[in-house]
Each structure stands twice: as C-alpha cells, then as structure tokens.
A and B are shown apart, each in its own frame.
Chain A
Amino acid sequence: MPSEKTDKKELQPEEALRQRVAELVRVKSRDGQFTSRTEIRQYLLDRQLLPSQPKEGEPDQFQPLLVKTLEENGDLKELSGKDGVPRYYSSVYLSDSYVRLLLRKEGDPLSMIAETVRENSLVYPRPLPLTTFSHSPFDLTREEIPACLRQMADREEYADIQQTTTSIGTVYLYSTLHLDRDYASMLAEWLDVGQFNNP
C-alpha cells in the first residue's frame, strides 16, 4: 500500500514535501475524489510548506514540485476534465471506471446518465435501475432524476436511452444501441424480482 511506507531512511525536505503531496492525493482518491491543483497548493500553503508568493527573482516552486511528485509516484495520474483544468488521482485507489464516473459527474447530468447507461448495457450487459443515480457517486436527488429523464426524452442524442418497468414497478434504463427492448425487460425483471425469488 503506497500510504504505508516502511522505508526508514530520512527524507530530504523536498522529498518529504513531495511525499505529503502524494499522500494527500491518495487519501482523497481513497474517498473517491480527484484532487485539484488549487487544493494541493492550498494544502501546502495552510501548512506553510510553500511561500504564499515566490521570492522575488525566483520561479514558482509549485509547478516543479508537482511534476517531480508525479515522476516519483507512478500511481499518481494527471488528467484534464472538460474545463481543461488538471485533476490528480492515484490509480491504486481510483479505478479507471470510477474515474470515468467522476468525470461524467462534473458535466451535464443528462450526459452522465446516458453514458453510464450505455456502458452498462454494453459491458455487462444489463439495464440499470433508476435508483442507481440517487446513490454515490452520482448523488442526484429523487426530484432531479425524473427531471433529467424528461429532458432526455426531448433530445435526439439521447434517443437510445429507454425505460422498462418491472412487475413491482421499478424503472430501469437501458440503451437500445446495445440491448433490445425484450432483452432489457427480461434482464430488469431478473435483476429486480427474479434474483429475490431465486436466492
């Protein structure tokens, strides 16, 4: 585990600083979050590990520190969201698929729902219950979800996202790009009712 470094050798101050940055990113990753440049800088400033302003005539230490930290810690990754701003995470604690979910969450909720439904319809394959989107990491409210679905129904780019309702009234979403209606309905019924009745 990267956070449990047992190497007892004394770290040089710069090296120790980079380890603290790496640790910050890992802890946030473990909690399912990216870390932004601003957060890292603020973390260091709060602990007076970085001067609030570069000394006159000297370059800003922050960017080189970040670059070197990434070089030394292979699990730390940088990626850009749709806003072009870099985020950092540890690939040990954040899986690729969770990273994709977090990026989707930063964007339009309609797109987040659609892309997640498409991925599930393709990969597993299966429809997804609507309730999935009210839980972490999606965290849409119970009011937001139907509002999103209403908007999606009017937009051509989401025409493949369809609903099926099980015999006990649970609504599932699927993509017609990967599942046909009958198959999606059968799978929804199996997931929602069949597995309960066939333990």
Chain B
Amino acid sequence: MAKFGGWTGKTLRVNLSTGKIWTEDTIEKYKDYLGGTGLGYKVIWDEMKPETKPFDPESRLIFGIGPMAGTGAPCNGRTAITSLFPTCWPKPLVGTGHMGGQFAAELKYAGYDSIIIEGKADKPVWLSIVDDKVEIKDARKIWGQGIRRATAEITQELGPEACVAAIGQAGENLVPMSVIMNSYSHSAGGNGAVMGSKNLKAIGVRGTGSITIAGDKGEWEKLLKYNLSIMGANNNHAVPSSPQPWAEYFNPGSRWKASKGLRWEAANPPIDTGACDPHDLNRIAYRTNNAVTYLGDIGWSVTVRENVCTGCPIRCHPMIKVPSAKAKYGVPEIGMNTCGGLNFGRSFFKQFPDGPRGLTNVEACMVGMHMADDYGIWCNYSQLQRDFVKLYYEGTIKAKISDKEFKSYSWSKYEKGDPSFLFELLPRIARKEGELATVLGLGTGYLLEKWGLSEAEWKKDKDLVYWKMSHPKHHSNEDCGQCGVILNTQYNRDCQCHSHTNLVRGGLPIQVQKKIAEDLFGTPDAVDAVGAFTPMNTGKAKMTKWSLLRKELHDSLSLCNWMAPYATSPLKERGYKGDDTIEAKLYSMATGGKKNPEELDVVAERIFNLHRALTIRDMGTKEMREKHDTIPDWVYYDPDKKPVYTKGTIHLDKQDMQLAMDMYYEVMGWDKKTGAPTADTYKKVGLARVAEDLGKKNLLP
C-alpha cells in the first residue's frame, strides 16, 4: 500500500457492547471518501440496515476527520459527526453534526484518522485515547454531570493538553435536541443523544505524534502563506465593515469589524484592532469580531479576545466578559461561543427592557450559553427558540400543558425579557421534565406531531424560517435566491452550506461579484443582488452544484466551509478574486495523492451521491423530488404582495423553482422526474455497487 501524507493511516473502531477496540486501514478502506462526512456516509451505507434506529446498539456514531486536519492548512479544525439524526422527522435519516475546536487535530496526533463507535456499554463509560493506548473507562463518576465538569475531570486525568468531546445531561437523557461538545464550547448539534444511547459520556484524546506532509516543506509553507493571503474575515467577508484607508469598498454588515480606535475593551489592557491591511498576514486574527456581529456595538465593550479552532487565523468564536451576568445571575463572567451558541439564550425572548441590542440581551446570551453548553442542549440553528416564541405568544403552550405545569414557569419574567427565566426552562429540557420541556427537546417535527399541530402551518410562517423534516433553512433565498433554496432541499437537517453565502454576503459590490461569478460559473447572471432576484439560469445551477460539492469536500477534508471555498479575496490587485483550486493544491501537497480540482470535485460528487443514496434507501423511495426536496410555502410569499423578481422582494416564483430543480437535477446527472441519481451517474462517480444495491430495491429511476 502506497504511503500517503495527511492521513495517519489508521481508523479507530470501538464496539462498546463487546469492549473490542481495533483499527482499520484508512487508505485501503476509506481513501476514496477522504474522511469526515465521506467516511461517515460510507460506514452507514456499508454497516447499517435501513430499519436501524438512531438509539439502537447497531447504530453507528462516526467521528469523521479528514486528511487536512492537523496539517497546518488554514482552518483545519473540523470534525464531522455522522449518525442517524434523531430529530429528523418523520423518520431519522443520515445527518452530520459539525464541530470545530481542537478534537480533530488531537485525534490525528494520537495516530487516528477517525473513530467509529458501535454497540452500547452496559454502564456509563468514556473512551480514553492516549496515542496507541485506547481504553474504555468507567464514567459513572461523571455521568449526570455537565459537559464542563466531565471535561475538567477527564482533563485532570489525561493532562491539560488533552482534548475532550463530551455530552451533557441532555445527551445522557436521550434528548434528541442535544450536542456533542469539545474544548468546552465547540459543539456538533444533533447527535448528542446517539452518544448517550451508547452510554458513552465522553472521548478524551491526547496525541503526541504529528502528521506527515508528502510535499516539499518549503513549497508547503508557501502554499499556506498563499492560502492566508486570499482569506478575508469570518465567512470570508472580503471587505471591512467601515471605510479603511486601504480599502476600496466597505460594508456595514461585514464581519470584518476591525478599525483603528475600535478595541477589545474587556482585554487587559484593551487591544486596538487597527486598520488591518489585508497584506499584513499577522493581523488576520484582529479582523473578525463576532461579539459585535451578533450583539451589536456593545460587543466591543465585552470582548476579551476571539477564540479559535485548530489552524484558524480567523477566530470567529468570541470570548466575552460580562461581570453583570455573574453579579445578577451567578453564571461565570467569561463565556465563549459563536453564532447559534452565542445567541442561544437571547433568542428565546421577544424583547428586552433595554431594547434589542442592550446589556440584557448580552446577559441573556451569557446565561443561555453557559447553561446550554453545560447541559448540552442543541438550538437547531435557533429553531428551538423560534418555535418556543411562536408557541407561547399564540397561546399554544398554555393550551397544551396542564395548568399546574404552566404556572410552574414565571411567564411574567419571560415577557419582560428577564434572562433568569432560562434557569426554569433549560434544565427541564435537558432532564425531560414536564410536557413542555420534553416536547421542545424532541425537535420541531416530533413536537408538532405530539401536540397535533400542522407542519404545513409551520411551512407558511416566514418568520419561523422552518424548512422541512424538523429543521430550518440555512442561507436560502434571503442570501442567494434559487441557489440557496435548492441547497436547503438537499439535506436531512439544515443544510449548513456556506459556499454560496460566502460569495454573495462578503460585502463586494454586485458588479464585482458578477465578474467573479462569470469566471467561476460562465455567466455574471449566476448571482443577483439581494432583493433583486432574476429567473433561474444555467449559471445558478452550476453555482448550486459547486456550492454543494465544495461543502461536502470541506466536510470530508476537515476544512472549514464557514471560510472556504475562497471564491473571493480582499485583494484589489486580484480583482477581489480568490482561488477555488486551493483545496486541490492543499490535498495534493499534503497527501501526495495528486488530484486536480476537477478530480477532487468528482470525489465530492461521489460523497454527496452516497448521501443521496442513503437518503433514498432509508426513506424507501426514489421519489426525492416529491417527498424530500420540498420547499416551504413562505419562500413564495411576500407580505407586501410585490410581484416576484421585482426589486425589494426576496420571494421566488413556484414555476421558476420547478425549472430550477430541473436544471439542478440535470447538472447533477439525476433524473428530473424523481430527483434520484441515475445508475450511470452512480457509476460515473465510482458508486456502481451502490447503484446495484438500489436497483435490487427498485430505488433507481
């Protein structure tokens, strides 16, 4: 077997029912799927039967990590945790929780590319991995504890450099809306309860090895510097949020917040973020401030610094210090998380006494973040909170739970926007205490089913942004018209794709975006300005395919899709173009298995077609277009009844979306009628045996 860089060559396997621990040859078995989600889908396809349920001992939980993790490639801290998703309604299907942090690199340094867990321990256990010493250890002492206590206890044993991925009480109690979290605040949503069902509290890893780079070290260093040179801020936003002397453009919505005089005020001493000329690679870490992105200008006053995943200069994970949160609510004054994790607490409230961007809003974030990150509760991209708000304000909660239970909550506190309300709600979700908390922990689809509510109604409500199968949209038409909508039809959870939004929301003028789109997709019409959408065209279909495949590629290589693909850059001298061949360059040089971008895209196509095959197999139908790739009604709705494709509206046309799906299926090589991949397409991407298996079940078009 040829030697490769990037991979360690060993995939760790653990059967918790038997206690057996062994390894597989990664190259021999999984190289064609890279790692990450690709490896996860492959294991589920090969080893799980369609009738398996998420919490069955036979169910697999795969910590999938790719060949880029631990290499030094920018933003290589990604772990893709694939399993059946217990929140997916009406039937759990394959899904992946994505976490950053330090877990991926630490596991690689211990000598393993990925971990595949199966079986169920007869008592609570944790998995200890210290280089080649792998042990299943008694976790009864930490079972029932939160993620932070579990992490601290295991770190005490393995040493301060160890990385721990753990579940909280929510995962232990098989609450579907639960996370697996490493490094205290980097979470993978949706499969905490699968880990809990195996009686597996945590995985602690300490690795002292390293990753081999196949290529020349000097060339590798040059490539890394080049990659850094084309990076913007978080989500690859390519322009600063305010005018800077060096910058031709700016965009108030950009996550590139740095500016001379704007300081991380809670640092000691405060740190001036400065002008951050994009040519100064040593200042990349000062560009982004997501405390400001999510909290508004008050974010500057609470920022200590930005926390980080392995190999990431961007630092999208703000650490904030809010002494009043400690004084008023007793939570630690310092907290850190990003996006839905940071917003967890505040998103439950409709209003705060000091307005939407005041201190109470920040305090609610702190209370929610500390509790959710310890109990291990998942927000489902804030669908949990949106559901809660709707259910309360429409009187559904009062109608559906007992009077005694209703009165056990302080609703006046809630309506006033008092963060202490979260102390009443969140522990109950993690413990499944009472009807309300239990249904909230199920995920939207199962909640609606249990309370006899109509999913169709949820699909009409524009403010809920609920999509399908229990999950919300994630960068759909509001960002990218038809492309965003199609991407949101493709997964069994929110689609978590950022390839498209990184291009269109990065702050560049529309004409610059169009020039870049023309280079990438053959026509400037592939992108529209927000709120000035035009009918579907071939460029948009190509962009959709590119967005989807690059997402799978990143999730399989362990590169961050919240940054890559680098379609744009902050460099005027490049015409703001990035370089979407960077993944192939990194892969080729790190592993030595040379692939050009087109060849690597075929691997990504193989991986996503396998996801599609799994969905078809486990749904038991090839009618994907009708039964899976559905679009909620709110996409076609405009509150002001503005005509579609006029300026000032983001709603789309139903007939045009049918054409869009046709064009998308065509570029994917799928059957237009069913939306299922054809046998030829499966064969073309190296999945001939998958096609054979599906053919036997009459699941080919």
List chain A positions with a Cβ less than 8 A from chain B.
1, 29-32, 93-98, 101, 123-126, 128-129, 132, 135-137, 168, 180, 182-183, 185-187, 190-191, 194-196, 198-199
Contacts and interface: CB of A to CB of B under 8 A. Distances in A.
Contacts of A129: 252
Nearest to A191: B253
Interface in B215-255: 242-249, 251-253
Contacts of B465: 198
Given A94-B245, A95-B247, 12 more contacts: A30-B246, A31-B245, A32-B245, A94-B246, A98-B248, A132-B242, A182-B647, A186-B649, A187-B530, A187-B531, A187-B648, A196-B296
A67 B31 CA distance: 64
Contact of B245 (A95, A126, A132, A198): A95
A199 B248 contact: no
Nearest to B386: A197
What is the interface residue range for chain B against chain A? Answer: 35 or more
Given A95-B572, A191-B252, A196-B294, A125 B245 contact: no
A97 B248 contact: yes
Contacts of A32: 244-245, 260, 275
Contacts of A1: 279
A29 B277 CA distance: 12
A190 B530 contact: yes
Contacts of B530: 187, 190
B26 to A, nearest CB: 35
A182 B640 contact: yes
B245 A98 contact: yes
Contacts of B343: 199
Contacts of B253: 191, 195
A182 B648 CA distance: 6
A95 B246 contact: yes
A187 B528 CA distance: 14
A98 B531 contact: no
A123 B509 contact: yes
Contacts of B479: 198
B391 interface: no
Contacts of A199: 293-294, 339-340, 343
18 contacts: A1-B279, A30-B246, A94-B245, A95-B245, A95-B246, A97-B249, A123-B509, A123-B511, A124-B251, A124-B509, A126-B251, A132-B252, A136-B260, A182-B642, A190-B478, A190-B530, A195-B253, A198-B475
B160 interface: no
A113 to B, nearest CB: 14
Nearest to A195: B253
Interface in B350-385: 355-357
Q: Nearest 7 CB-CB pairs, A to B?
A: A182-B648, A32-B245, A183-B648, A183-B647, A186-B648, A95-B248, A123-B509
